[in-house]
Amino acid sequence: MPDASVNDLYLAVYADLLFGEYSSRLAESHARAGGRTHLSRFVRKRDGRGRPVRAWHCADIPFAFGTVEDESVHFLIGGPPAAADLALAERMTRAWADFATTGDPGWPPVTSGAVRIWDVAPEDDRGRWDAFRTPWRDAGLPLLAP
């Protein structure tokens, strides 16, 4: 993010800490304790009404439940959905339904190192996930020490 504003950098760091690293460490702890754990990260971004709409808390919910066309959620996703948004919603809805009915969302559990990255282009990219996590490897997070 070499050209990012101070605001963009702050939001990226804070979101990674609060929703990324803590969630990852909780998931890994659950898996180490014997729980079946799947991890994903919603990263879809869009320009909406001249301002960037980031992957903020709860922005994934309309995609997971297939409600992106409902006007009441357009403020969460930056306006009416584009074709790529509809395709993302279809993939996410299917994964959540599969997980609810079979226990398998369509990607391996945390113990394999797999993390589903939800974006308008489908991917399951461990290298991209490692890039999110690398800055936090040596950070002291006392509540969730690895």
Q: Which residues contact 7 (CB under 8 A, 6 or more apart)?
A: none
Q: Give how far Cα 70 sits from Cα of 51, 114, 131, Å.
A: 21, 32, 34
φ, ψ of residue 48 in degrees (nearest 5): -130, 120
Prediction pTM value: 0.79
81: its two tokens:
């959905």
pLDDT tens track for 54-84: 777 788 999 999 999 999 999 888 889 999 9
25: its two tokens:
């460490």
Task: Report the range of poorest mean pLDDT among 12-21, 29-38, 77-86.
Answer: 12-21
Q: Which residue has the higher pLDDT, 29 or 92?
A: 92
Give residue 11's pLDDT: 79
Query: Which residues sit opposite 48 in a β-bridge?
Result: 51
106: its two tokens:
């369509």
φ, ψ of residue 95 in degrees (nearest 5): -60, -45
